[in-house]
Chain A
């Protein structure tokens, strides 16, 4: 399509923690500095900077993009913040891709940051204002409602049980034990999930990812520059993003069409015709355990309603045929919203380079995918990567 090839050449990340001593600016600096060091660059080499971060209400800082610019290395450079809700972290590399693919930049630093702990008593309160102010907010909804409502509809439509879904939480929290950034990695059982506090049936506490602080960063380069910088560039071969209406209660809650639309765009661009065979490894967004299954189906990695069975059969385990969330995902590593999406991109980057350490999936994966999204069950962002 007349665009330049774009590669990821470096990555950085902080630990994900419930409450960080560092400010958002300091976390951004830590991740950015590590990303630059990982590919032997300095800020002088960076042409443009993009930054992803979710609602200003978490931080109580309006113009959060500008506030974080210092930590993201944006001073004196073309710099812009992007925000597409829960999809932000996987939109981050897409935003950077625009800059490099278009020829406007040869090297772009992409940073994603979230500090949710600032909002008291709990960042969940900040989500009240994502609901329609006139037709929904007077009912005082919490974010968990919309997930609980969707999960119930998903279970009913395909005859899936809470225990089927809980396996995802068990798998991801266990995978996260090998991730150095992990916040809530642990060995748990399906019973532990089912016996954890019921928050909004059918959602229990261990079905949900935690609130987190953290940051992540990557360096994107054009083909010519990437080949000079590294022997192991990981190419961004497909990008897709798509939004559905905010009238969320008017659509099929059992199937995430917002993900399918974004995935089709990314697959077309990457020349992928049979995603279930051509994608070797995937990091779909898993803020709730059922969401990993839901998103696998929207990504067309399996037929509708079948993702739970694949999980039960071990297909999605780290050593299975289609490893899903080998990082540990939002459920295990933690969920600093924008940084989570970029953490998933970094995991695929490392896996395709064979540098994921104890988390490395067997079989020399060559093609991977990361996806984020949601908001009012409407935003999808997808990136397809190849080594």
Chain B
């Protein structure tokens, strides 16, 4: 058989087909709301974030100090053993300079780019990173391997969320640069 010998299905629609009313569509805008229970491990993690601390969980069998914390070790498949506070500093494992919001809409010309990163947290096992944002840094100065530190919301503003950390900022800037506060992530859902 050759694909070229068949008349393939699939009819490409253009935006003009809709504008000219050549095709009809039916629309639905769902209004669904979810309340996700945080669970045992992440529940404590969030409570500690509210208190301005990052907490991990240790598995004594594989000796990993795990972030985010979990009540069971997915590798050893046994309960984890104890809680351990780790630092609120770390190293940039990787980063991006994002001009796109969650729904693929573009950031406006006056909106600064979002700076998502994977940050390996000091005190956790090597390579144990979390996704978070970077701030107070000129994107051009960002480098993998940079030391960073969490910038927390004021205690009274914290809600027990990963966003109680506003962003991570570089701790040893090599030179003074014009810095901007990190933009608020995302936008409305």
Contacts and interface: CB of A to CB of B under 8 A. Distances in A.
A200 B107 CA distance: 11
A299 interface: no
Contacts of B99: 198-201
A315 B15 CA distance: 40
Interface in B54-113: 66-68, 74, 93-105, 113
A13 B13 contact: no
A27 B162 contact: no
B102 A140 contact: yes
A187 interface: no
Given A153-B93, A156-B144, A249-B129, A138 B103 contact: no
Given A121-B104, A145-B98, A15 B144 contact: no
Most buried by A among B97, B105, B116, B161: B116
A203 B100 CA distance: 11
Interface size class of A (residues with CB under 8 A): 35 or more
Contacts of B74: 245
A210 to B, nearest CB: 12
B30 interface: yes
A203 B116 CA distance: 13
Interface size class of B (residues with CB under 8 A): 35 or more
B96 A10 contact: no
Interface string A9-34: 01111111111111000110011001
A41 interface: no
Which secondary structure characterizes the binding site on chain A? mixed
B105 A135 contact: no
A316 B60 CA distance: 46
B70 to A, nearest CB: 8
Interface string A227-264: 00000000000000000010101111100000000000
Most buried by A among B9, B13, B102, B131: B9
Interface stretch (A122-130, A160-168, A367-375): A122-130
B53 interface: no
A39 B100 CA distance: 46
Contact of B68 (A26, A135, A357): A135
Given A139-B186, A350-B3, A357-B3, A150 B46 contact: no
A181 interface: yes
A149 B144 contact: no
Interface of A: 10-22, 26-27, 30-31, 34, 37-39, 60, 121-122, 124-125, 128, 131-136, 138-142, 144-145, 148-150, 152-153, 156, 179-181, 198-203, 213-215, 245, 247, 249-253, 350, 353, 355-357
